[in-house]
Structures are given as structure tokens and as C-alpha cells.
Amino acid sequence: MTIHKEGYTSIAIVVLVVFVANALVHYFISDNTFVVWTVYVLSFLLLITILQFFRSPKRRIKTDENLILCPADGKVVVIEETEESEYFCDRRLQVSIFMSPINVHINRNPVSGIVSFFRYHPGKYLVAWHPKSSTLNERTSIAVRTNSGREVLFRQIAGAMARRIVWYVQEGAEVKQGEEFGFIKFGSRVDVFLPLGTQVDVKIGDSVSGGLTVLGRFA
């Protein structure tokens, strides 16, 4: 297992906090075995938690221009027809994935193509499963036009714990299916807006893996 570059600073801070906490305990109350071991255990759990959050597992991703790959690890919480009012301004099929703190938080391109639209919006930090988080929370919206002219929009949405969205794409850039387009720190959500008629290969409640699970197939 490797560690994602977005975790370097956070891990360094946690290591420093653990070191200082343990040093203070040893200096002031080294004779209290219960407190010393409690600090040891809590320090270990904190370090393991932060390391697993920023893990970056290697994945063999098979690309296919007729498929839409899942952009994130997590659980499918929404599959519905809705009005996408920011870019398409028409009816689309929305599939949403909720990412808990224990999931890998790397975001991957669901399709290959050219980034036809990009916007960053500052906003609130409602819980990621809140219906209005898609329009009120801090978020990015990215649309990619495939070689066949189809467009898919996907949206990174910050949650109650996720206070930093990172993206690696810009409008006009060429992106490849399955490659990283961003990262969201801690619990969050990704919405995907597909053309009507797209065959959806997942159902609500399914656990999915970014770049591996097939979200759907173009009609």
C-alpha cells in the first residue's frame, strides 16, 4: 500500500501531535501506567486511521469508451432522473456515491475525453447525504465530452467533515478514463450526471470502487 500525496502534510501533523503528546505524558505522569498506555493506544489508533484514509491502492483499470466507470469508492445513495441546472440545463440521470471516512478518497475520471466545463463553488458543509448538499455545499463541477460527442458531468461535494476539495483538471484539458482527477479529504460525495437512456449497472446501496465498478453503459 502506498500513501497519496495529499496525505503527506496531514500525516506529518499527526506524527508531530503524537510525538508531543507522548513526550508530555512521559515527562509529567510517567508513573501513571493507565494514562501512559491510554495515550499509547489512542496515538496508535489515530496514526492508523490517518494512514488508512490516505491510502492509495494500485488498481488495474480497463478502459472502454462505451462504459462509465465509477469515479469514487463508497456507496450508491441516489439513482434518479433530475434537472441539471448548472451546465446542461435539461433532464439527466443522476447517480450519487457517498464516501465515508473509511473509503479511499481518490476521485477518478468516469470517461475519457476533453474537459468541456469546470467550475469551483465555495459553500456550506452540510452532511454529504443531505439532498441540498449538491447545490449548497462547497463543490466542483466537471463535464467531459467523449470522442463520440457524449457528455458526462461529475461533481465533487464537500461533506460535514470534508473541508478541502482538490482537483487536477482544467477546462480544455484531455483526460483519460480511470485516471485521478481529484481528491476529497474525509467524508464526502460525488454526483454523476448521465444522458437519459444510459443503462445503469448499479443499484442503491451497492458498494462501489473508483475506476473498477462499471457505473453504466451508454445507450
Catalytic residues: 188
Task: Return the exposure string of 165-201: e unless at least 16 CB atoms fall within 10 Å of the residue's CB, then b.
Answer: bbbebeeeeebebbebbbbbbbbbbbbbbbbeebebb
Cβ-Cβ contacts under 8 Å for 203 (sequence gap 6 or more): 76, 79
CA 36/CA 21 separation, integer angstroms: 10
